[in-house]
Amino acid sequence: METREFEIRTERLLLRPHRLEDVDDIFEFARDPEWARYLPVPVPYLREHAEEFVAQRILTSREEWPVWAIVLAGKVIGGIGIRIDVEHATGALGYSIAKEHWGRGLTVEAARAVVDWAFRERGLAKVYAYADVRNTSSLRVMEKLGMTREGMLRGHRTLREERVDDVYYGLLREEWGRDEG
């Protein structure tokens, strides 16, 4: 798949494959502990972590786990991806965006584009996402996508030596386009 074919444009954003030169932008926002609060990333977040992250994203299979850098005005402000389970035609959506851009609808804008791509281009039957129950901003993103809360897995994982309850949301292909919020 050509790089340009893998780009998605929205009203304000460009979603594109990661590049080596993205390290500085990612390190700039990822070293903020508040950005990292609910994410399974190292704290403190060092430049070498940004370098490893970008290298992993460049090497990640677009067939199994398509990932994009979220670019606003030429600067990487976050990332989004969908881990695809081909056998079950489902995808797990994941996203993050720089703290300075929280509350502006950019995550929802990027997520809508990726969900639409997943249903249209990959023919998925379902897209789901999950977040720490305390991460109300992420839960709102899922709701704005039209996802249905499917349940909570109590003490489901450990994040920085603390047990975390995860809330799962899902969206079926036939629901897409209805009540997108």
pLDDT 10s digits, 100-124: 999 999 999 999 999 999 999 999 9
158 lies in some domain: no
CA 68 → CA 17, 77, 106, 163, 170, distances in Å? 5, 11, 14, 29, 21
Structural domains counted in the chain: 1
Other Cβ atoms within 10 Å of 37 Cβ, number: 15
Helix (H) or strand (E) holding 32, with range, is none
What's the predicted TM-score (pTM) here?
0.93
142 lies in some domain: no
Q: What is the CATH number of the domain that holds 119?
A: 3.40.630.30
Tell which phi-psi region holds residue 15, choosing left (phi > 0), alpha (psi between -120 and 50) or beta. beta
177 lies in some domain: no
**pLDDT band for position 45 (cuts 50, 70, 90):** very high
What's the whole-number mean pLDDT along residues 32-41? Answer: 93
22 lies in some domain: yes
What is the span of the domain harbouring residue 35?
4-127
